[in-house]
Amino acid sequence: EAGVAQSPRYKIIEKRQSVAFWCNPISGHATLYWYQQILGQGPKLLIQFQNNGVVDDSQLPKDRFSAERLKGVDSTLKIQPAKLEDSAVYLCASSLDLPGLAGETQYFGPGTRLLVL
Amino acid sequence: SQKIEQNSEALNIQEGKTATLTCNYTNYSPAYLQWYRQDPGRGPVFLLLIRENEKEKRKERLKVTFDTTLKQSLFHITASQPADSATYLCASSNSNSGYALNFGKGTSLLVTP
């Protein structure tokens, strides 16, 4: 079974530029997550999709971050304009269904390492 | 706010010993806790889930406990091996946040031969 795919793996941009990340979840997984992991910290949830609908985007800085999952499969996360503090690893994860009380296992991709200069 | 804390200091142990990692939570009651392993340059990998009504869970050389009185989970790796060296993340979840995972900072484990 193929895992969660992400691209690019690395990206270096200057502040105020824009950047986009792509994620392809495990086939059949309805729920997709984007996390931000700053060096030395645990992952922080940015946005959660169920199929092509947003379930939770309460921690997404909506003035500069946007995400979509138009066909309920692939997803893109965009930052525009980027700030220095956006330097982090952006992780995509997927699960069969919503977490719920059952506690769905989340499968993570390798992440995209972003450096903003 | 919901806080989950892991020992930020790295844990260094000798091969063959038992590694014990701590996860503490405050201000809420998780429905369950999950433990993940993260290697450098990779995404986290799920290891174990323990629910609030479970005291202990085991999987091969791994054991996790959940003490709701102490508001603490302990993660044990018995007969540790150098290949167990990684960062271990604790994550909590409850209904207040729609069961979204709230991760701790992780604890780095180094097992030396």
pLDDT tens digits for B33-64? 999 999 999 999 999 999 999 999 999 999 99
What are the CA-CA distances from residue B85 to residues B13, B59, B79, B90 (Å)?
Answer: 10, 18, 13, 16
Report the pLDDT value the prediction gives residue A20, as an integer from 0 to 100: 98
Q: Which residues of B9-25 are buried (b: 16+ CB within 10 A; e: fewer)?
A: eebebeeeeebbbebbb
Task: Give yes or no for residue B30 having a pLDDT over 70.
Answer: yes
DSSP state of A105: P
β strands within chain B, DSSP E? 3-6, 11-14, 19-26, 32-38, 45-51, 56-59, 62-67, 72-77, 86-93, 102-103, 107-112
Q: Which of B43, B98, B101 sits opposite A111 (nearest CB)?
A: B43
Superfamily the domain A5-98+105-112 falls into: Immunoglobulins (2.60.40.10)
C-alpha B113/C-alpha B108 separation (Å) is 17
Measured between beta carbons, which residues in chain A are less than 8 angstroms from residue B31?
101, 103
CA distance B45 to chain A (A): 7
Interface test with A, best of B1, B39, B57, B99 (most A CBs within 10 A): B99
Q: Where are chain A's structural domains? A: 5-98+105-112
Kindly report, residue by residue over A28-71, the tens digit of the pLDDT.
999 999 999 999 999 999 999 999 899 999 999 999 999 999 88
Nearest-by-Cβ selection for A109 from B43, B93, B98: B43
B68 min Cα distance to partner chain A (Å): 17
Can you give the residue ranges of every domain in chain B?
3-112
Q: Please tell me which residue, B104 or B100, carries the higher pLDDT value.
A: B104
Q: Hunting for tokens 């709701």 — which residue is that?
A: B68
The answer to whether B70 faces chain A, any CB pair under 8 Å, is: no
Tell me which chain B residue has its CA closest to the CA of residue A109.
Answer: B43
Using the predicted structure, report yes or no on whether residue B65 has a pLDDT greater than 80.
yes
pLDDT at B1 over 70: no
Chain segment A55-67, per-residue pLDDT in tens: 999 999 999 999 9
* CATH code of the domain occupying B3-112: 2.60.40.10
